Structure 1
C-alpha cells in the first residue's frame, strides 16, 4: 500500500462493518488516522483494534448519526484528539427500507430519512468547518444507485438517497473555494453482511437481483474501499460535486 493519506485524519461513519469497516482499514493502511463512528460498540472497537494491531492509528467513538449532538461530539473528539480533520466517509445508513408510497407510514418515512439523509446533513454541517480549519480536504457520502433512479418498493430510501445526491452537490458548491471537496458514491449491489443475510433468507429473490447485474456479481467491500480511498486522497483533487456510480454498470441502463 502507498502512503497517499499520510498525516490525514479521516472520519468513517458506519465504520463497524461492511463498506465502512473495509474503508476504515484501507485508509489506515495508506497512512491515515481513522476515527470510526457507529452505534455498535463491540464491533466498532473490534475494527479499531484490528487497525491498531496492524500498525495503524484508530479510535472508536460511539455515535448515533441520527442525533446531531452525537455527530458534533464525534467531530469534536476527532479534532481534540488528533489536531484536525482532513476527510470523511459518511457511510452510515441502510436499515429496513422497503415499502411503497401507499404502504409507508409517516413514522417509517421519518426513520428512514433520518438515518439516510438527515444524518448526512448533520455530518456535513459539522465536518466542513473542521476540515476548512485544517486546511481543506475531501468528503465522500455513500448514496446508492436508487439515488439515481426511483424504486417503487423502497420509496423512502430512494427519496433519501436522491436527497444525499442533492445535498452533496449543494455542499460541494458551498465549500469548494475554501478547499473542501464533496462527492457521492452511487453504490450498487455490495457483498455486505446485510446482503449475505438477505441471500440466506431469500435465495430466489437474491438470484433474481444478481441476474440484473451487468457483470453478474456483487461488489466486494474492498472495491468500494479502494475507490473511496482514491476520492479521499489528493489524487482526486479535480473531482468535486459528482455522483459517481460504482455499480458494475447497473445505472448504464437507466
Structure 2
C-alpha cells in the first residue's frame, strides 16, 4: 500500500489508468444499456419498467460501496497516515453522492408503477436518503478542513472520523428490508444464488461492472485534480515566501 504513497508514482499509474477505466466503462455501460432498452425482454410482472434495474441497482451498490471505500480511506488516514488516503476519501465523495442520488431518483421512477407512489418513508429508502445527506455533510466538512488547513490533502481528522462513523449506515441500508416491514423487495442476489432470470442477472452484472469502471476512473481523475491543486498551492506559497524574503 505504501508503494503508492509517493504522489509522483501514483500519478504515473493514474495517468494511463484513468482514461482506460473511463473509456472501457463508458463502452460497456453504453452497450449494456442499449441492449436493455432495445433487446432485453420485459419482466413478467412489471413489464418494461423493470429495466430501470440496470441503472438503479448498480447505483445503489456504488452509493454504498463508495462510502465503504471512503471509510476505509479514512481509517487508513487515521491509523497509518497514508499521504493519499485523505485525497482518496475526498475524491470518492462526489461520485458516491451522485450514485446515491441516482439510486433514489431511479427508485422513485421504478416505485411509481410498482408501488403506486413515488416515495415511502420505509427503512431502505430513508437510510439511502441518509447516505446522500452523509455524503453532502462529508464534502462540506472536507472543504472546511482543507480551507482551514491551507492545503489540498486535508490535515484535519474531523472528516476522517465522520467517514468512519457514517459507515454505520451501510449495514443499516443492506439489512433494512429484513429488519423492518418494507415495500422494497428483499435482495434478489445472495452469495452463490440469485432469484433473477439469467438474462437479467448477466445484464445487471455487466452494467454494474461498467458503472464501477466509470466510478473508478472518476475517482482517479479527481485525485489527480486534487493533487494538482495542492501542488499549485504549494508553488504559490513558495513564491510568496521568496518575495517576502527578497
| TM-score after normalising by structure 1 | 0.30
| TM-score after normalising by structure 2 | 0.31
Q: Which protein is richer in helix relative to its size?
A: 2
Over alpha carbons, which structure has the higher Rg?
2
Q: Which protein is richer in strand relative to its size?
A: 1
